[in-house]
Amino acid sequence: MKSRTIKVDYLARVEGEGALHVKIKDNTVVDVKLKIFEPPRFFEAFLRGRAYNEAPDITARICGICPIAYQMSSVHAMEDAFGVRVDGQLRALRRLIYCGEWIESHTLHVYMLHAPDFLGYPD
C-alpha cells in the first residue's frame, strides 16, 4: 500500500487565497480538501463616523470584480434602517444591474483568470 499527499499551499487564479490538499492511497484519490480563504479586510472600520450616504461608494471598493453586490448590500441595509420598500421598476432595474455584474464577473473570471489554463499557458 503506497500513500502520498499532494499539497498545493497557494492556488493562483482564485478570488482570495486558496490551497488544495489531495490524499492518494493505492493510486486512488481518497480525500480532497479545497480551502478558499478570504482574509478580513475590516471595511466596517472605514464606515465608522462616515455619513450613511457614503456607504455605497465605500463598500463598492471591497471587490474590484463584483462591486455592485457590495454596493447594493449597503443600500439594502440603509433601506431596512429607514423602512424604505422598493418594488416595481426599480426592483427590476436592480435585477438587471445584478445580471450585468454577473456577466462581467464571469467573463473576467473565464478570460483573465482561467484562459491561460485552458490554452496551456503558464500565466
pLDDT score at 8: 86
C-alpha cell at 83: 423602512
Q: Starting from the edge strand earliest in sequence, which strands make up the sheet with 3-8, in order?
A: 3-8, 17-25, 28-37
Domain boundaries, the chain: 1-39, 40-123
- CA 50, CA 71: separation in Å to the nearest integer? 15
Secondary element (H or E) of residue 77: helix 67-82
The predicted structure's pLDDT at residue 12: 72
Q: Which residues of the chain have pLDDT under 50?
A: none
- Amino acid 42: pLDDT: 84
Question: Which pTM value belongs to this model?
Answer: 0.68
Q: At what angle do helices 67-82 and 89-108 cross, to 10 degrees?
A: 150
Rounded Cα distance between 104 and 65, Å, is 8
Output the pLDDT for position 11. 78
Amino acid residing at 67? P
Q: Give the pLDDT of residue 44.
A: 85
State the Cα torsion 36-117-64-9 to the nearest 10°: 30
What does the pLDDT read at residue 87? 95
Residue 91: predicted pLDDT:
96
Task: Check residue 114 and give its pLDDT.
Answer: 81
pLDDT for the residue 3 = 87
